[in-house]
Structure formats: C-alpha cells, structure tokens
Structure 1
Amino acid sequence: MKSAEPIVIFEHEKLYFTEEHRKLKLDEALEKYHGDSSPFFSLIRNGVEFNQHVGVLKVGNTTIEILPKADRNGEEVWRSLLIDMIKTVWGFEVKISSSADLKLKSNSILDLYFELFIKELEYLLHRGLIKRYNKKEGNLYALKGSLQFSKHISQNLVHQERFYVKYSNYDVNHKLHCILYKALKLIDQTNNKPDLNSRIGAMLLNFPEMNDIKIIASTFDKIVYDRKNKHYEKALQIAKLLLLNYHPDVSKGRNDVLALMFDMNRLWEQFVYVVLKRELKTTDFKVRSQVLKEFWKSETGTKSRMKPDIVLESEGHTVVLDTKWKNLSGKGPSPEDLRQMYAYHHYYKASKTALVYPGEEGKLIRGRYSPIQEGSISDNTCGIAFISTHTDIAAWKKNIVSFVQENFLTVSEEE
C-alpha cells in the first residue's frame, strides 16, 4: 500500500484532522491509541494536541513526526538536531559496525533507528552469531538426553523405534536471536525507505529463521550481558525500543501504531549531562547525574528524597543544575522550581545553583534569595541560565561547555 504524505508538527502544537486523514482512518487510530493510555497527546475537538514528547508516531502507512522547538529555526534544523541529540545520549557516535561508512543519512527518528538496527545486525552476522545450549524435547529415533517416561509411553506405544526425550542442543536458535529476528520482521513490515529495502531483504535471507516468542518488558530484564554477548547490547536496545512500542491493530489490522517518542525534558537533561561529563573529564570537576539525598522521614518509616538533574563537584565547590526544556517567554521560573533549588543549596552544600533552559542567546540572569532575617544578606543564589541553541550540534555542545565553565566553574569577583 502506498505511504501517505508524512505529517510534520512541533511539540505542544495541535493537529487538526483533514478529510484525507479521515479517509486514512487516522482519527480513529489515534483516538483508539489514546484510549489505550497514550501519554504523548491529548484529544481535542477534531484533532489532537501534542505535549512535550517528540519523535515519530507511525500509524498504519502514515508517519507523524513531532519535533522539538526552542527557537525560530525550522523543520530541517530541528530534525537534524533531535537526531544528533539522540545519537549523543545513546552513544551512537562510537563505532557501531565494521563498516567504514558510519554517517547516517536518516530523514526521521524512525529511519535513524531502522538504519542503526540494520547496521548492528550486519555487524553481528559478519562477526558470526553466537551459539548457546537450548533445552528441547521431542520424538527422536535415537536415545539422546533424558527419556520422558510419561510422554514416551503415551506417544510411542505403536512406534517402539522412537524415544520421547528432553535434550540440549547447541545452536543459534536462542532468545537473543529470537528477539532480533522479531525486530527485523517488524522493520520489514513498517519500513517505507526504499534504500533500506534491499538491506532488509538481505538480512532476512542471511539471518536464520527463529522461533516466534512472546516479548514483554521482563524479557529484556532477564538478559545477562557477558564478554560473549556484550556486542549484542546496542542491537537489543534498539529491538527493545521497537518491539515494546509497537501496538498492532488487532481489530482491523490496518492501523498498527509504532511510537518512538521521547520526553524532551528528560532528553535535554541527559544531553546536557552527557556533554558535560564527556568534555569536563580532564578537569577537577566530577559530573554526576540524579544524586539522591533523603530530606524527610516519618516516624512510620516513610521517606522522601530529592534528586537534582546534574551535580558538579570539586574540592570545596559544588554546583547544582536543574535542566528545564521550556520557553519562559519573558516570565520568571515557577515558585516550585525556585523552592526546589533553595533546598538543593542546603542539602548539597552548593555554592551555586541554576535552572538551565535552551535559549536563542546565551545569558545568565543572577538571582539571590531573600534573607530570612531582616537586615541580613543571603548567600544563597539561583541563576536562570539560557544556553543558546545552534544549527550545528558540535557548536551547540561547545556552547553548553563554555557557558557552564565561564558561569559556574570559575569564581567571579561578585562572589
């Protein structure tokens, strides 16, 4: 079936259904998907309104791409930046296959993951699939393994030349490959990118056919990585993302939904953290993420903890940063955010704290908390930091590092 024209929209925008959308049953599919507790959008009259989640919703043959937006740049710029942010956070900048050509020319997040998965699978096949012992049982013409007496008697009264046994077989047909094969079949079913078709077809020919297994979240939780299968981890991560976010339309079979969506608040936090950790590793500052501290406990044992996004620590100097993916539009931060930063000052003994936003220009607005006692001066400050975005991801990373170094990791005369 011919693919519908992709729909491109920015976060927090509304998508109103057209007659073409209704012909494709897009309205029905999204309404049903929302009824299954979709956290990515809310229903409005004659349409849907997206929230802070960005990425791709593949509904049947229709692709809806939701892009982030923090400045006046358009679709192409933010599509490229989003893909590069995800590559940075997931570590896709390191070598992922034996191929010399690692430049991904993807048109969307969906294409990115499909292409990354195919590259990983090509690499695994080139290296050679690992074998494992699998427990099997069945009727054989030779006694192998342990005889299963009850089943042997019930099934072989007539066929005395057979043995119903349970035995171990050393081959490639095991859980890891079953997962990868199922993800490959899903990509074959949903891919609309012509230049990937031949590679997917080659994978299906070269990858051994596996048993169809039911895959849920706990399937991946039970995987233990060791030196033999460590190189499978990235392919399995992508398979997990695809398989657990695929929602087949069991009623009509025409509007399956594949949702690869990311919370921009979380992605922005992880992006800033990964960039700082990578670029500041040669400095005296240790960059840590999500550092838990207990700050309340009831007499019954109930506890409450605080967890700032990023903590930078050096001898006698601690900086706490909380990232916020939003446009303040000239307004100040919320009182709740400022109170939270005040608590971080005390519990983390921070010399500086700041709320970090993306912005069209880099600037730091310094702010000082009011003293508790009249006439005294408070030492507690909280800055509002705007780190300028850039059309080039390398320049954006450089902006983040230089901004943090200049404003938070050096002692100014004002202090």
Structure 2
Amino acid sequence: MAKSVVVREYARLTSSPLATQTLDEAQISETAFDWLCELAGSFRRSGAQLLQLENRRWLKLDSHVGVLESPCGQVIEILPKHFEEGDCVTQSRALLQKLITSALDMPARETELASLALFDAPLAEWVMGQFLHELEHLLKRGLRFDYHRVEDEQRYLRGQLDLVRQMRQPPGRQHCFQLRHDVFLPDRPENRLLKSALQLVLEHAQQANNWRLAHELAGMLDELPRSEDIDADFGRWHNDRLMAHYQGVKPWCELILHRQMPLAVAGAYRGISMLFPMEKLFGQHVARVLRGQLMPGAKLRTQVASRYLCQHAGKSMFQLRPDLLLEAGTHRYVLDTKWKRVDVNNRDGKYDLSQVDFYQMLAYARQYFPQGQGEMALIYPRCATFAEPLQPFDFSHGLTLHVWPFDLERDELVITTGTRMPVYKPRNTYAA
C-alpha cells in the first residue's frame, strides 16, 4: 500500500482493501487509521471537528485541508473539493497553494519563484520549497549578526578588564587577565529558528530539488545553534527596518515549526502535519482581494466584534462577528463568506442555501443597520452550478440580501448590476 494518499474534503478513509482508490475513497494503514481516531478525539475535546467514524470501518473527513503524517509514516494529503473536471489533483493543489499564500499575506512576487509555482508538488513539499527559496534569498542578502558579551580569562589583554574579578584572583594567577569583550556573531533568535526549521526540512524532504537545496543551505548555517525554545525565540523576533529582509521567510518558518497552524495537531508526534479550515482560507482570501479593489474612501474591516445580539441584566450577550464590514461614507454593507456549494438548478431545495445562514444575516442587520435598511451579501465560491448571482432576497422595509459567487480562478467577486457596492466594477456583472 502506498505511503502517500491524496484525497479531498469529506473523503472516506478505511483500512480495509479497496478495488480502486479515488479522491473520495481511499485505503490507509491500520496504524494510521487508529492514529486518526485518537486525533479526532483530541480535536473534539478542543471543540473542533476533524472527521466522523462510520461503522468502525470508515472515517469521513470534514472541511479541513492540508497534510497529515502518522507516526507509521502514512502521509494523507487533503485537497479542496472544488473542481470536478480535468486534472482535479493539480488544480486543487494550485488552489490550495494560492489560498495558503494569501492567508499568510505573502506577496505574489517574484520571478525567481516562477519555476516553483509551476512545480506540481504535494503540499508539504511545496511548503518546504517555499521556505527553502525564501531562505536562499535571505542568505544572498546576508544574515543579521549581533554583539554578544563574553566573559573570559586570557593571558593577554582584549576588550575590557574586569577589575573586581581580577582583584579576587588567588596568588599565582596574576598573569591571567579576567576580561569582558563583545563578539559579533549570527547567534540571534531569528537565525536559530531558521536553523531549526531547516533541520526539519532536511529530515522530511523527498523531492530531489528540495533535498539538494536544503543540504546546500545547511552547510551555510552549520555553525548556528538550533532553537532551544521555539515560542520564546519567536517572541524575540524583531520586525524593525534592519530585519525587513527576514519578513519573507518568517511565515514559512512558522508554518514548518507548527507555530502558525490554524489547527495544531495534538500529541508529541506531528511530523509534517498542517491543517487549515477551508472556511477560513476562503474568507481570508476574499477579504484580501476585495481590499485591493476598493474605491477611494471605502474601508473594509474583518471579523468586526463591536455589536451584540441582546442585553441581559446590564450585560451584552452573544457577540456578532460578520466576516466583512464594508463602509463608504454613511453607507454600510455586511458581507459573510461561506465555503459551500450553491446549485441554481435546485430551486425546490432553496438552491442548497442554509436557513441558518439567513437567520444569521438577519441578526447582523438588526444591530449593524439601526434604521432597518441596507444591503447584505452571502459570498460563495463560484462553480459550474453557481456562475451568476441569484435574484436578491427581499426582507422588506428596505433590507436586501444578495447571494454572490466569488471566482477563485480570476479573483473577482461577481456582483449584481445596479448595486452600490464601493468596489471597482469587475469584468463580469449580471443583471438581477
């Protein structure tokens, strides 16, 4: 059985033999199956849902994407369930890489990374490749050094003489000098973290290009010590002007050292595991794209938490946190992103929309539109069954809810013609 398995969201996993492996059903080892069951239990205790157990023979994944490596070496790569035609694996990997880069707020640069972008590698190898290329770019510009105070005993004068220690020397050692001096070394928290991340890459890299580049860079950092306290060293990471060239490598370093994972994989063994809630990746990407398309004077805020649903005994209860709040002058627009499929052909089934989402938007309107009038929007990923906006939903009294698709391939929100949204007109608009 293959050590690496590629599936997508909501796939079913089993340890029993399968006639064929697909993106929706795959076989894994019994030890990996048992490890996933334990991992799911720890996730449930922390309030997150990773997978469901079916008949003690099947595990059904949830909407988390990324990669998991079990202690037995089984690697499970989980991709977004967005494409149904063509090479779904390549397209889904490219989409996931794009969303992770957007979530880490990385620039889309960079001619020297063009070849890496065309390299269809598993997610873990892609992350390690991004880290290695950013580290190589950093080393070309030079590591940041710092002065370290050293107290030493020598038979010659160097630096500053420590008079107190010198006077306390026993008889017969007057020829030895107690000194204090500074040494200019690259032993800084940032460099120690880079060495620790590079060591993990050396242990896990399988692709020839990553393996070769990792060993080349390891020779350049050979004299650096590894970090003994990762969290403390990240807390000491400087972001001043002199450390500006370190900003490109920092997010990848955090990702490899399991510090910036949206969901931490519990337990002592984590391998190269990294998980991302697809709902958050989609929402963060939509926010980043819209922020770059705003008209002058408009302002976009994310995860606004200034309003509550009600008051009780003098205290506010049930905080309201819309994904996006768009303001332009006196106009306000409440937007929420949903990583779900909409089917315009299923009108009898209410287009597969959730009634709970509509109630949620109505609660937002109650607090963010004091006059009871305004425009809101639910944003879903654009797909074959949802290429155009739906007819606006009228809550009466001037309150309107739009349902709009967001094109992940072209990075544009497809809005209804005639809306007053303060964003530049996209290439495609559709009449309501």
Task: Indicate whether the TM-score tops 0.5.
Answer: yes
Cα deviation digits, residues 239-283 of structure 1 (max 9, x gap): 111112697986xxxx752222111111110111111111x2445
Q: 18, 22, 28: which one pairs with 2:29?
A: 22
Q: CA deviation at 1:18?
A: 4.3
- TM-score scaled to structure 2, two decimals? 0.76
In 2, Cα distance between equivalents of 1:40 and 1:259: 16
Q: 335, 354, 366: which one pairs with 2:377?
A: 354
In 2, Cα distance between equivalents of 1:113 and 1:96: 16
1:177 to 2:191 alignment: yes
Is the CA contact (8 Å cut-off) linking 1:59 and 1:258 kept in structure 2?
A: no
The 3-state SS of whatever aligns with 1:364 is: coil
1:195 to 2:209 alignment: yes
1:368 to 2:380 alignment: no
1:380 to 2:402 alignment: no
1:160/1:310 CA distance change after superposition, 3 Å: same
Cα deviation digits, residues 22-56 of structure 1 (max 9, x gap): 37x42344345445548562362235332111011
The 3-state SS of whatever aligns with 1:125 is: helix
1:268 to 2:282 alignment: yes
Q: Using the TM superposition, name which of 118-127 and 141-150 deviates more.
A: 141-150
- TM-score scaled to structure 1, two decimals? 0.79
Specify every segment of 5 or more residues in structure 1 that has no aligned partner in the other structure, as ranges.
370-376
Is the CA contact (8 Å cut-off) linking 1:247 and 1:258 kept in structure 2?
A: no
Computed over aligned residues only, the root mean square deviation of the Cα atoms, in angstroms, reads 3.9
Is the CA contact (8 Å cut-off) linking 1:97 and 1:123 kept in structure 2?
A: no
1:406/1:40 CA distance change after superposition, 3 Å: farther
1:338 to 2:358 alignment: yes
Q: 31, 34, 51: which one pairs with 1:42?
A: 51
In 1, Cα distance between equivalents of 2:154 and 2:32: 52
Is the CA contact (8 Å cut-off) linking 1:321 and 1:355 kept in structure 2?
A: yes
Q: How does 1:306-345 map to 2 (within 5 A)?
A: 306-327=320-341, 330-331=349-350, 333-345=353-365
Q: How does 1:7-406 map to 2 (within 5 A)?
A: 7-18=5-16, 21-22=28-29, 25-34=31-40, 37=43, 39=48, 41-42=50-51, 44=53, 45-59=56-70, 61-73=73-85, 74-95=88-109, 103-136=117-150, 168-244=182-258, 257-278=271-292, 280-282=293-295, 285-295=298-308, 296=310, 305-327=319-341, 330-331=349-350, 333-349=353-369, 351-360=374-383, 361-362=386-387, 363-369=389-395, 377-387=396-406, 393=409, 395=410, 397-398=411-412, 400=413, 402-403=414-415
Is the CA contact (8 Å cut-off) linking 1:96 and 1:120 kept in structure 2?
A: no
Is the CA contact (8 Å cut-off) linking 1:342 and 1:380 kept in structure 2?
A: no
In 1, Cα distance between equivalents of 2:141 and 2:297: 40
In 1, Cα distance between equivalents of 2:59 and 2:151: 51
Is the CA contact (8 Å cut-off) linking 2:227 and 2:233 kept in structure 1?
A: no
Q: CA deviation at 1:225?
A: 0.5
1:374 alignment partner in structure 2? none
In 1, Cα distance between equivalents of 2:172 and 2:317: 67
1:222/1:307 CA distance change after superposition, 3 Å: farther
In 1, Cα distance between equivalents of 2:392 and 2:89: 33
Is the CA contact (8 Å cut-off) linking 1:4 and 1:63 kept in structure 2?
A: no
Cα deviation digits, residues 85-112 of structure 1 (max 9, x gap): 2233434443358778664524122122
Cα deviation digits, residues 347-386 of structure 1 (max 9, x gap): 33362102212242222242222xxxxxxx5222223334
1:206/1:222 CA distance change after superposition, 3 Å: closer
In 1, Cα distance between equivalents of 2:173 and 2:41: 54
Q: Using the TM superposition, name which of 39-48 and 70-79 deviates more.
A: 39-48
Q: CA deviation at 1:305?
A: 3.4
May I ask how many residue pairs the two structures share in their alignment?
Answer: 391
In 2, Cα distance between equivalents of 1:353 and 1:265: 19
In 2, Cα distance between equivalents of 1:161 and 1:33: 64
Specify every segment of 5 or more residues in structure 2 that has no aligned partner in the other structure, as ranges.
18-26, 344-348
1:191/1:312 CA distance change after superposition, 3 Å: same
Cα deviation digits, residues 297-317 of structure 1 (max 9, x gap): 555666653221112222343
Identity %: 23
Q: CA deviation at 1:11?
A: 1.0
